[in-house]
Amino acid sequence: SAMNYLVALYERGNPPRDLEHYFKNFNLEYVGNKNLATSVTTSGNAIFTQHTPLGMMQSVNYKGDLYLLIKNPSFMLLLESNDARHVNDPLWVAFLIISALLISLYVSVLRSLLPLRRLSKDIRKFASGNMEMAMTARLNENEQDEIGQVAVEFDNAVCKIRELIRSRQLFLRAIMHELKTPIGKGRIVSEMVANDTQKMRLINVFERLEMLINEFSKVEQLLSKSYALNYQECHFSLILEQVQDMLMLDKFEERVSCDIRDDVILRVDFQLFSLAIKNLIDNALKYAEDKKAILICDSEFIAVKNLGKKLNHPIDYYKQAFVRGDKVSAGSGMGLGLYIIEQICQMQKFELAYDYEDGYHVFKILLRAKAKRA
């Protein structure tokens, strides 16, 4: 090749004037790095050696690269191949192109998933009860992909649900307002009754009706997940006094046996927790065979017991909304007792437990770490 042609030129007496230019035509270049040249000549492995009229020609392998060494008494040349030096260039170009494609694909996927993450965040807010939130979908109506369409449809569903809840709340508030008007008038008229016994009975009836309406308002807020808790610390004995007023029993002490082992301090919503205890006692009295209930307050739990036969269904069945016990007639309440109690306990981070012990139904509100000793 290059050496054979060079030898032929020398034999004809027509050597090339510029050796560097000559070797470049054969993709060979001088090794300009003196340190590299020294390392190649001293540490390189000779693949083959050939003696020519120009001198010794040797092919040297050094660190995976091939070099051509020409040595005679007048000069020494060390050449390297351009092809060998740039053999990895196509691989680097391919690597860079593939890397750019992967990065662009990754960025594209992230950008396409970003609306989905915003939508997921909005769904969590909506599930937590935030009905007045401004949906992200309305801000991205120009997006025509599948995620954008899902966001728009979900926003439409949220708007419809919000309007239904508002219309229901307005309807119920209007009913309660209309009911309070005759109750208020009846309360005023009852003060004019001359007979004290009849007067007190009428007053108690109207107060009971007003309390039921207020309780119904709380139940509606609980069912719609729109009740705002108002936490405060109070002794259980104070809650029990409120429960007695709510039950309005003529002989509370005879029908409800109270065993206050520890008058714990609870951090609860006073009105809501009183409603839960009231419903527990009310259910116990309603279903008890002897029409009596037992209330126990300890540092770890609040329990309400009543005598009765074993339940026909698992307790979870009776915790559903609008489910009544087998002994209760269809006209005795809405069947929301245990459902409301469970909802109140969950909202205030308590656990409602049930057990059947020695012929007694036992409902326990487990206080755990939320109770303090008086």
One domain for residues 143 and 156: yes
Q: What is the average pLDDT across 234-251?
A: 90
What distance, in Å, lies between the first and last C-alpha atoms of the chain? 105
Most confidently predicted of 6-15, 226-235, 322-331: 226-235
- Output the domain CATH number for residue 328: 3.30.565.10
Please check the confidence at residue 364 and state whether its pLDDT lies above 90: yes
What was the pLDDT predicted at 46?
81
Assess if residue 99 is contained within a domain: no
Please check the confidence at residue 134 and state whether its pLDDT lies above 50: yes
Query: What is the token pair recorded at 291?
Result: 């029409």
Assess if residue 312 is contained within a domain: yes
One domain for residues 130 and 163: yes
Assess if residue 103 is contained within a domain: no
Which residues sit opposite 57 in a β-bridge?
50, 70
One domain for residues 119 and 220: yes
One domain for residues 220 and 322: no
From 175, 201, 228, the end of a domain falls on 228
Tell me whether strands 55-62 and 65-71 are parallel, antiparallel or unpaired: antiparallel
One domain for residues 158 and 49: no
Assess if residue 91 is contained within a domain: no
One domain for residues 359 and 331: yes
Q: Give CA torsion, residues 113, 118, 119, 123, to 10 deg.
A: 140
What was the pLDDT predicted at 332?
43
| 103 compared with 124, residue with greater pLDDT | 103
One domain for residues 249 and 334: yes
Quote the pTM value: 0.55
One domain for residues 337 and 235: yes
One domain for residues 189 and 247: no
| 34 compared with 296, residue with greater pLDDT | 296
- Number of domains the chain contains: 3
Q: Is 342 helix (H, G, I), strand (E, B) or coil?
A: helix
- Residue 36's domain spans which residues? 2-85
- HSE-up of residue 108 (Cα within 13 Å, Cβ side): 6
Candidates 83, 54, 90, 51; CA nearest to 67 is: 83
